[in-house]
């Protein structure tokens, strides 16, 4: 139970202090080990201890004044439903704002119109009809308070529970303004008409309207930050055709079960993962692998969800459905990343915890100082009190980190770079050394035929025919490479007899009553084949990092073929880019020194550590860390797992069909080394964006609060009106989210 992680969907939060409040009340539960709240994703993550139940969390959140619901397994329709709900909430908020504007503008007109020479109806003249004047303002203010009632219920509840938040600041500030204005109304009704000019009703209406407007704009912007998940989920068709009990039926994709036979026509997307059982086609897997050329699929081949069928029709058996599909795993990784915190956020969290109580204290002290020390009016002191409370909202502070992480990780996911957490983003930014595995990372990971040398009268075609005819009986990887090359050249094969594999040396066989030998130098020596002058060709190929095989016919050398693991097309460019960024690049491989050096020269790597077995890679990474290096290890995610875990950042070259590699922090779905460059640059851009957000959030509050307290006014400067404070506060949050959205324009390739 202790290792389980529970997730809950939250509602009712309005700011960073809200998130901190929920975190605190849940952490206080004796059955909870750790709890984190992400304001941007509105998600609560709980790590439970013995005796934990979800009811405890739900009740604690409810007591704090918010709502929580346990997250179950997410279906594609659930995402669509959530998007629709968010849009409806935004529309509902817009309607509330329009209503608030409808009562606030007349309030502003009545209170401010006369100051700028705007006419008022005779019955609203404050001098001729003071009672009507104050009562109309009161009646216009009440609907505004009704619209903003959530601020009051949540704000005062959290204040009573000693967890004040942004709602508390708004509630206390506007309540003070309203109660003072109500006192003035009573005075006017009692005949003290001088109080007609001591009303703050317009401040109440304007502040509530502006805060709601800020929340509306913020909600709109936050909706765009989750676009990555929405776009990923849209790749799965809502319905699919399956064959059940001999009948072809159309069902919802969510209803596909393991073992169902899925029928796919040309142009359709694959709804789930599976294995082809009949038919042949070409499939566009570019979304998953980055490979632009369609891949041929026939019986026995694997199908990945969200890929697109091209030409033929196929039936395939569903092997992964629901949350187990490749696309669902990707979405899960993106969600996890977006819901995580970067270490840089800890500072903001700590400040948010103490910020609101400090602001309340500063507002009270400022009001008292102006009233008792400076001898200003109650009206003036109240204005100071309200302005400090309103401008100090820590919303921008709370949104600074999560919005940037959401956009940054989403941008990566859209382009095949899966970054698993905010911690990884920050760690990747600090990397100064990149360690690359050779096979499958720098190189393709599979040998291919590179050289065919013929000696004497034998032609290239005849030599390849002899070799292929013999190697078709072998299961050696080098044999597979030769056969693949021969198939491409359309070489005919000849029957072979007396095939024999000589362990560690090669093969011996009979072709057309001739003895053929294919293997290394040891095999040739065993069968007394003279190499003569051709030994130089063998040495040359070996220095190039190639595996050479000698071919003899009736004990006469007739040719040499060489096989090599070719470097990927983008490896050299990627390594060059990493070096230009000032990063130290090291190639780590189990291959012998000669082969490793040859590959390194071709790829542009200056440092090579060869002859290292998988269990020794982690130790070498550790040695680099001891020397003060911040290491990113890039490998295949399986053989290199210990090293991936040891490194500050583990980067797995994914196959596109197995993306949930536990040992890695970053998964490159396209298996392209250039995506390592992308991941590091994206992390740098995201952390830079977070720092910008935090700077402006801190600067805003640091500068805004003293101005609101009247420090500039002491030296003849301006005094911050509560309404202007409300406007500034609302748009500070929007500016932070908008800045985070700039990451969507991040250029993946330089």
CATH number of the domain encompassing residue 462: 3.40.1110.10
Are 415 and 477 members of one domain? no
Domain range holding 67?
6-73
Q: Which residue has the higher pLDDT, 734 or 322?
A: 322
The residues facing 283 across adjacent strands are 295, 309
The CATH number of the domain where 266 resides is what?
2.70.150.10
| Helix, strand or coil, per DSSP, at residue 515 | strand
Given a cut of 70, whether residue 502 has pLDDT beyond it is yes
Count the helix, strand and coil residues of the chain and give each as a percent rounded to the nearest 5: 55, 20, 25
Q: Do 410 and 226 contact (CB within 8 A), yes or no?
A: yes
User: Exposed, middle or buried: residue 510 (CB in 10 Å: 0-12, 13-18, 19+)?
Assistant: middle
Predicted local confidence at residue 346, as pLDDT: 63
Given a cut of 70, whether residue 223 has pLDDT beyond it is no
Predicted local confidence at residue 656, as pLDDT: 39
Are 463 and 561 members of one domain? yes
The CATH number of the domain where 421 resides is what?
3.40.50.1000
Are 454 and 552 members of one domain? yes
Residue 88 lies in a domain: no
Structural domains counted in the chain: 4
| Residue spans of alpha helices (H) in 190-290 | 201-225, 227-233, 286-289
Are 453 and 559 members of one domain? yes
Residue 140 lies in a domain: no
Are 571 and 439 members of one domain? yes
Given a cut of 80, whether residue 129 has pLDDT beyond it is yes
Are 562 and 451 members of one domain? yes
What is the DSSP secondary-structure string of 51-99? Answer: T--HHHHHHHHHHTT-EEEE--PPPHHHHHHHHHHHHHHHHHHHHHHHH
Domain-ending residue, one of 545, 566, 587? 566
Given a cut of 90, whether residue 560 has pLDDT beyond it is yes
- Residue 221 binned pLDDT confidence (cut-offs 50, 70, 90): low
CA–CA separation, 70 and 48 (whole Å): 14
Catalytic member of 349, 437, 537, 675:
437
Residues sharing a CB contact under 8 Å with residue 160, sequence separation 6 or more, in sequence order: none
CB atoms within 10 A of CB 728: 20
**H or E segment and range at residue 67:** strand 67-70
Are 411 and 457 members of one domain? no
Given a cut of 90, whether residue 241 has pLDDT beyond it is yes
Are 490 and 626 members of one domain? no
Q: Catalytic annotation on 554? A: no
Domain-ending residue, one of 38, 54, 73? 73
Given a cut of 80, whether residue 219 has pLDDT beyond it is no
Given a cut of 80, whether residue 615 has pLDDT beyond it is no
Instruction: Tell me the CA distances in angstroms from 724 to 13, 380, 388, one per residue in order.
Output: 24, 15, 11
Q: Do 257 and 293 contact (CB within 8 A), yes or no?
A: no
Given a cut of 90, whether residue 575 has pLDDT beyond it is yes
Given a cut of 70, whether residue 394 has pLDDT beyond it is no
The CATH number of the domain where 20 resides is what?
3.30.70.100
Instruction: Tell me the CA distances in angstroms from 119 to 56, 100, 109, 428, one per residue in order.
Output: 59, 23, 9, 63
Residue 700 lies in a domain: no
**pLDDT tens digit string along 334-356?**
777 666 666 766 666 666 667 77
Residue 276 lies in a domain: yes
Residue 481 lies in a domain: yes
Are 629 and 551 members of one domain? no
Residue 60 lies in a domain: yes
Q: Which residues of 738-747 are buried (b: 16+ CB within 10 A; e: fewer)?
A: ebbbebeebe
| Helix, strand or coil, per DSSP, at residue 241 | strand
Given a cut of 90, whether residue 606 has pLDDT beyond it is yes
- pTM as predicted: 0.68
Domain-ending residue, one of 654, 681, 708? 681
**pLDDT tens digit string along 65-110?**
888 988 766 666 666 677 777 778 888 888 998 999 999 899 888 8
CA–CA separation, 471 and 476 (whole Å): 8
The residues facing 295 across adjacent strands are 283
CA–CA separation, 607 and 295 (whole Å): 36
**pLDDT tens digit string along 480-498?**
778 877 777 777 788 888 8
Are 572 and 436 members of one domain? yes
C-alpha distance across the termini of the chain, in Å: 47
Q: Do 677 and 585 contact (CB within 8 A), yes or no?
A: no
Given a cut of 70, whether residue 56 has pLDDT beyond it is yes
Q: Which residue has the higher pLDDT, 117 or 252?
A: 252
Q: Do 564 and 448 contact (CB within 8 A), yes or no?
A: yes
Predicted local confidence at residue 258, as pLDDT: 93
Residues sharing a CB contact under 8 Å with residue 575, sequence separation 6 or more, in sequence order: 436, 442, 585, 603, 604, 605, 673
CA–CA separation, 689 and 212 (whole Å): 26
Instruction: Tell me the CA distances in angstroms from 6 to 25, 76, 607, one per residue in order.
Output: 16, 20, 45
> Length of the chain, please?
750
Are 316 and 421 members of one domain? no
Average pLDDT of span 699-719: 86
Average pLDDT of span 390-414: 78
Q: Do 71 and 9 contact (CB within 8 A), yes or no?
A: yes
Residue 158 lies in a domain: no
Given a cut of 90, whether residue 422 has pLDDT beyond it is no
Predicted local confidence at residue 323, as pLDDT: 81
Given a cut of 90, whether residue 250 has pLDDT beyond it is yes
Residue 189 lies in a domain: no
Predicted local confidence at residue 342, as pLDDT: 66
Q: Do 409 and 227 contact (CB within 8 A), yes or no?
A: no
List the structure tokens of 714: 């002491």
Are 540 and 448 members of one domain? yes
Q: Do 538 and 531 contact (CB within 8 A), yes or no?
A: yes
């Amino acid at each position: 139970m202790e290792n389980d992680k529970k997730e809950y969907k939250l509602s009712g939060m309005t700011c960073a202090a809200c998130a901190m409040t929920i975190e605190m009340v849940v952490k206080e539960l004796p059955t909870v080990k750790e709890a984190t709240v992400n304001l941007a994703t509105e998600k609560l993550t709980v790590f439970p201890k013995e005796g934990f139940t979800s009811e405890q969390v739900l009740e604690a959140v409810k007591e704090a004044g918010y709502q929580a619901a346990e997250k179950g397994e997410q279906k594609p329709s659930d995402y669509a439903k959530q998007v629709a709900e968010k849009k409806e909430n935004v529309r509902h908020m817009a309607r509330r704002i329009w209503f608030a504007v409808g009562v606030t503008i007349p309030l502003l007109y009545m209170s401010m119109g006369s100051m700028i020479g705007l006419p008022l109806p005779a019955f609203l003249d404050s001098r001729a009809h003071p009672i009507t004047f104050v009562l109309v303002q009161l009646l216009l203010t009440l609907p505004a308070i009704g619209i903003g009632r959530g601020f009051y219920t949540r704000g005062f509840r959290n204040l009573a529970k000693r967890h004040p938040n942004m709602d508390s600041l708004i509630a206390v500030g506007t309540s003070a303004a309203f109660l003072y204005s109500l006192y003035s109304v009573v005075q006017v009704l009692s005949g003290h008409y001088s109080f007609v000019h001591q009303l703050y009703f317009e401040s109440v209406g304007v502040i509530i309207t502006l805060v709601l407007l800020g929340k509306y704009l913020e909600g709109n912007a936050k909706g765009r930050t989750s676009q990555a998940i929405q776009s990923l989920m849209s790749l799965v068709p809502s319905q699919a055709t399956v064959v059940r009990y001999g009948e072809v039926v159309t069902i919802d994709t969510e209803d596909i079960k393991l073992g169902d036979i899925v029928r796919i026509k040309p142009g359709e997307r694959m709804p789930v993962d599976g294995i082809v059982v009949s038919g042949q086609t070409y499939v566009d897997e570019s979304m998953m692998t980055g490979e632009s050329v369609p891949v041929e699929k026939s019986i026995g081949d694997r199908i990945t969800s969200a890929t697109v069928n091209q030409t033929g029709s196929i039936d395939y058996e569903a092997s992964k459905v629901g949350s187990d599909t490749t696309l669902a795993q990707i979405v899960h990784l993106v969600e996890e990343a977006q819901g995580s915190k970067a270490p840089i956020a800890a500072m903001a969290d700590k400040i948010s915890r103490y910020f609101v109580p400090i602001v309340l204290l500063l507002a009270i002290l400022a009001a008292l100082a102006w009233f008792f020390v400076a001898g200003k009016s109650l009206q003036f002191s109240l204005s100071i009190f309200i302005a400090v409370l309103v401008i100090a909202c820590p919303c921008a502070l709370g949104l600074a980190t999560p919005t940037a992480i959401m956009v940054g990780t989403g941008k990566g996911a859209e382009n095949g770079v899966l970054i698993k957490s905010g911690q990884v983003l920050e760690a990747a930014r600090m990397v100064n050394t990149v360690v690359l595995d050779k096979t499958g990372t720098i190189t393709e990971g599979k040998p291919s035929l590179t050289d065919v040398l013929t000696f004497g009268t034998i032609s290239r075609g005849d030599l390849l025919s002899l070799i292929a005819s013999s190697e078709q009986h072998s299961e050696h990887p080098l044999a597979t490479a030769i056969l693949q090359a021969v198939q491409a050249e359309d070489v005919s094969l000849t029957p072979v007899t007396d095939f024999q594999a000589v362990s560690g040396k090669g093969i011996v066989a009979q072709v057309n009553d001739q003895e053929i030998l294919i293997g290394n130098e040891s095999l040739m020596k065993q069968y007394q084949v003279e190499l003569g002058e051709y030994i130089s060709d063998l040495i040359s190929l070996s220095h190039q990092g190639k595996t050479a095989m000698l071919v003899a016919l009736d004990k006469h050398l007739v040719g040499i073929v060489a096989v090599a693991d070719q470097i990927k097309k983008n490896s050299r460019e990627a390594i060059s880019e990493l070096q230009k960024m000032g990063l130290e690049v090291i190639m780590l491989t189990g291959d012998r020194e000669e082969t490793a050096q040859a590959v390194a020269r071709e790829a542009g790597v200056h440092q090579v550590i060869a002859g290292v077995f998988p269990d020794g890679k982690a130790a070498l990474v550790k040695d680099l860390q001891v020397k003060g290096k911040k290491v990113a290890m890039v490998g295949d995610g399986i053989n290199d797992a210990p090293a991936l875990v040891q490194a500050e950042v583990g980067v797995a070259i994914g196959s596109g069909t197995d993306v949930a590699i536990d040992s890695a922090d970053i998964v490159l779905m396209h298996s392209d080394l250039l995506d390592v460059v992308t991941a590091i640059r994206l992390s740098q851009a995201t952390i830079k964006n977070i720092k910008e957000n935090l700077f402006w959030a801190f600067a805003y509050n640091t500068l805004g609060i003293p101005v609101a307290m009247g420090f500039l006014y002491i030296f003849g400067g301006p005094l911050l009106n509560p309404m202007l404070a409300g406007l500034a506060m609302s748009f500070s949050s929007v500016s932070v989210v908008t800045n985070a959205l700039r990451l969507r324009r991040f250029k993946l390739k330089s």
